Amino acid sequence: MAASGPRGARIATGLAAVALAVAVAVHAGAEGGLVAATAAAGVLLIAGAVVLGRSPLVTWGLLGLAAAYAVTLAGEPGVDGASPLVATGLLLVAELGYWSVELAATAREEAAVAVRRLVALGALAAAALVLATFVLSATAVPLSSSTIWNAVGILAAAAVLALIARLARGQDDSTRRPEET
């Protein structure tokens, strides 16, 4: 990869993470007040993480965005139809933010590795969106409707938990060096 490659990839992943954080913040903080301030703080923390190359700031930024969105949901009756998009957005903010921070500490990244990672991230986001939409759809069905729908909802929730567990396990595997395995 050319000398500007890793820097360009870092800028691209960082800008994408911040742009998605802004989108989540706008949705979460639409009412203004403390919720909007919390969402804005989350965006600033994500931007700080990208600029400074500090991964703990990504974590705190995600916490701010998620907290703002949770408070927004607490004040609303019913289910937010946009929650699968928000969840997928938060997933992408995390992955792109951490990727940008990782690139700040790395001298270079092979183009083929970056492409594979980008394709995997796209597939992960698509799968997360489908599963979150399915879970949301299952919650819209009254519990007394049928045993089959209850089973479908439980299986959807279990699939989401399995995906989260798999992703967490994959993160641990990807941080190990070949000589450690």
Could you tell me which residue, 20 or 74, shows the higher pLDDT? 20
Question: Do the Cβ atoms of 42 and 63 come closer than 8 Å?
Answer: yes
Question: Shortest CA distance to 82 belongs to which of 132, 116, 124?
Answer: 132
Confidence of residue 145 (pLDDT cuts 50, 70, 90): low
Q: What is the mean pLDDT of the chain?
A: 79
Closest CA to 28 of 18, 37, 19: 37
The DSSP 8-state label assigned to residue 179 in this structure reads G
Distance, in Å, from the CA atom of 19 to the CA atom of 25, rounded to the nearest integer, reads 10
Task: State if pTM tops 0.85.
Answer: no
pLDDT (tens digit, 9 = 90+) per residue, 81-133?
A: 788 888 899 999 998 998 888 888 776 777 777 788 888 888 888 888 888 88
Residue carrying the six token digits 């597939």: 123
Phi then psi for residue 146, to 5 deg, are: -170, 160
Per-residue model confidence (pLDDT) at position 44 = 93
pLDDT at 175 over 80: no
Tokens of 154: 């439980």
pLDDT of 2 reads 40
- Answer yes or no: is pLDDT of 168 > 50: yes
What is the C-alpha separation between 152 and 139, in angstroms, rounded?
A: 10
